[in-house]
Structure 1
Amino acid sequence: MNHMHHYNESDEKFANKIAFLDSRQREYLISPETLIRQMPIQNEHTLLDVGAGSGFFTIPMAENTSGKVYAVDPDRRMLSVIEEKAKEKGLTNIELIQDSIENLSIQNNSIDFVMASLILHEVSSLAKALSSIFDVLKTGGHLLCLEYEKDDLIINGPPMSIRIGSEQLEKALSLIGFKILKTTKINDAIYTVLAVKKEK
């Protein structure tokens, strides 16, 4: 990856975005480490973090498996941030992929666990994104979605119009063929849905 680039205003914006992503998510959530430890992840599992951003979940995921962790983000600069964080921690099991969720270039039926944190409300087609995740998961593989509840009382977070309420997400997951295992309210603003890819 080419790290030579001239400083410009968008670099500063970008740095602010990373600081914002890291702090905003920390502010709302139980720590990513805690959340991941509660997940059905085993030591040799292959993991996928879609919309990995600044690696908020990618890094602790990589620390929890000896298998490979794919970090997918459409923004190459985000991926270089993850690369830097991985280097600092001496993690060698992260593979960076510049891609959209709707169009994952990962082998079908190859992933044990997918994390989709605060990203599904940004995709152009929820059904397409979830189908894409469904395809790359092994049968019996798990998906954890973390999203903002669609509730007018919650001001923080993305605009109401693009949010995906927990019931809407459960419905969308079920239509694709997932089985919902557990929906958890993390706090007023944020919920998680844990789903599994069922046997056909």
Structure 2
Amino acid sequence: MNHTHHCNQSDQKFLSKIAVLDSRQREQLIPPEALIGQMPIQKNHTLLDVGAGSGFFTIPMAESTDCKVYAMDPDERMLGVIAAKAKEKGLTNIELLQDPIENLSIQNSSVDFVMASLILHEVGSLSKALTTIFEVLKPGGHLLCLEYEKDDLVVEGPPMSIRVGSAKLEEVLPVIGFEIVKKTKISEAIYTVLAVKKK
């Protein structure tokens, strides 16, 4: 009996997570099309959305290229949500990957652009995750990180202890071999860092 209750609770939690991920508020805060529109994405680019979640960025990414978009998330149910959205929009260029970010089953130097949205604070090792992304990117390929700032004044978002502040990213990315192109503050709480894998 307890088991089904637990199941329902986790389903409930999953559904509320989807609701947050797809919320109108989030869309206004981080308009996915606007953000992707500013990215160096071309029609012949292969893209990767790490920690794709409910496909908030995956879908507009898939609409912005004629090539493949990898949607990676360790949660099979999230991938199911993306598959349903893709089907609804008639998108056939999304490949779903149930991988942890530190262990991507993608060929090295095969991706032109990686989106890492609100996922880096969840990884075990930041440098390992970023190194894995670095390896799958082609030289000259870009990575966009979107994270919550590590700032005690900003209450919304994940616990302060696990946040990856922009200062931390600016310190770690160059060590791995990235060059930072630009840093943008999207809101009080959220920033993006665009970096390129040096040729």
TM bucket by the smaller chain?
over 0.9
- Give 1:113's aligned residue: 113
Change (3 A) 1:182 1:117: same
1:135 is aligned with what amino acid?
E
Deviations 1:20-52 (A, max 9, x none): 1222632532x1001001100000100000000
Q: CA deviation at 1:167?
A: 1.1
Q: CA deviation at 1:100?
A: 0.6
Question: Helix, strand or coil for the counterpart of 1:129?
Answer: helix
Question: Helix, strand or coil for the counterpart of 2:66?
Answer: coil
- Give 1:187's aligned residue: 187
2:60 is aligned with what amino acid?
P
Question: Helix, strand or coil for the counterpart of 1:183?
Answer: strand
- Give 1:25's aligned residue: 26
TM alignment of 1:79-98, pairs within 5 A:
79-98=79-98
Measured in 2, the distance between the counterparts of 1:25 and 1:126 equals 25
Q: CA deviation at 1:17?
A: 0.9
Measured in 2, the distance between the counterparts of 1:175 and 1:99 equals 25
| Structure 2: stretches of 5+ with no match in the other structure | 1-6
TM-score normalised according to structure 1 size: 0.94
- Give 1:153's aligned residue: 153
Measured in 2, the distance between the counterparts of 1:144 and 1:13 equals 28
Question: Helix, strand or coil for the counterpart of 1:169?
Answer: helix
- Give 1:175's aligned residue: 175
Q: Does 1:165 align with 2:165?
A: yes
2:26 is aligned with what amino acid?
Q
Measured in 2, the distance between the counterparts of 1:11 and 1:186 equals 31
Measured in 2, the distance between the counterparts of 1:69 and 1:42 equals 12
Measured in 2, the distance between the counterparts of 1:194 and 1:56 equals 18
Deviations 1:117-161 (A, max 9, x none): 000000000000000000000000000000000100000000000
Q: CA deviation at 1:189?
A: 0.4
- Give 2:140's aligned residue: 140
TM-score normalised according to structure 2 size: 0.94
Deviates more, 1:8-17 or 1:50-59: 8-17
Deviations 1:151-197 (A, max 9, x none): 00000000000111101111111110000000001111000000000
Identity, in percent, stands at 73
2:164 is aligned with what amino acid?
I
1:28 is aligned with what amino acid?
L
Measured in 2, the distance between the counterparts of 1:175 and 1:75 equals 30
1:165 is aligned with what amino acid?
G
Count of aligned pairs? 192
Measured in 1, the distance between the counterparts of 2:9 and 2:150 equals 34
Question: Helix, strand or coil for the counterpart of 1:40?
Answer: coil
Structure 1 vs Structure 2 CA RMSD: 1.1
Measured in 2, the distance between the counterparts of 1:45 and 1:179 equals 20
